[in-house]
Structure 1
Amino acid sequence: MSDGLNDARAIRVAEIMTDFRNLQYYLSQLRVTPTAEEYYLEGYSLLRQCTSEAQAILDAPFSAATTSPGGDAEREKAQLKSIIVDAAVRRFQCQRAYLRAHAGLRWMNSRNSILRGQKQNASHLNALRAADSTLRMELLSITDEHVENTLRCQDAAQGKWLAEDPTLPQIQQILMSR
Structure 2
Amino acid sequence: MADGLNDARAMRVAEIMSDFRNLQNYIAQIRATPTAEEYYLEGYALLRQCATEAQAVLSAPFAASTSSPDGNPEREKAQLRSIILDSAIRRFQCQRAYLRAHAALRWMNSRNAILRGQKAHAGHFQALQAIDNTLRVELAGITDQHVDYTLRSQDAMQGKWLAEDPALVTIQQILAARQ
TM-score tier by shorter-chain length is over 0.9
Q: 1:93 Cα shift? A: 0.2
1:89 equivalent to 2:113? Answer no
Structure 1 consecutive aligned stretches of length 4 or more whose deviation exceeds 6 Å: none
Q: Which runs of 5+ in 1 are unaligned?
A: none
Match of 2:106 in 1: 106
Match of 2:152 in 1: 152
Deviations 1:114-140 (A, max 9, x none): 000011101000000000000000000
Residue 13 of structure 2 aligns with an amino acid whose one-letter code is: V
The TM-score with structure 2 as length reference comes to 0.99
- Cα distance between partner residues in 2 of 1:177 and 1:122: 46
Q: 1:37 Cα shift? A: 0.1
Q: 1:78 Cα shift? A: 0.1
The TM-score with structure 1 as length reference comes to 1.00
Percent identical: 74
Match of 2:127 in 1: 127
Deviations 1:50-106 (A, max 9, x none): 000000001100000000000000000000000000000000000000000000000
Q: Which runs of 5+ in 2 are unaligned?
A: none
Match of 1:54 in 2: 54
1:43 equivalent to 2:43? Answer yes
Matched residue count = 178
- Cα distance between partner residues in 1 of 2:107 and 2:87: 30
Q: 1:155 Cα shift? A: 0.2
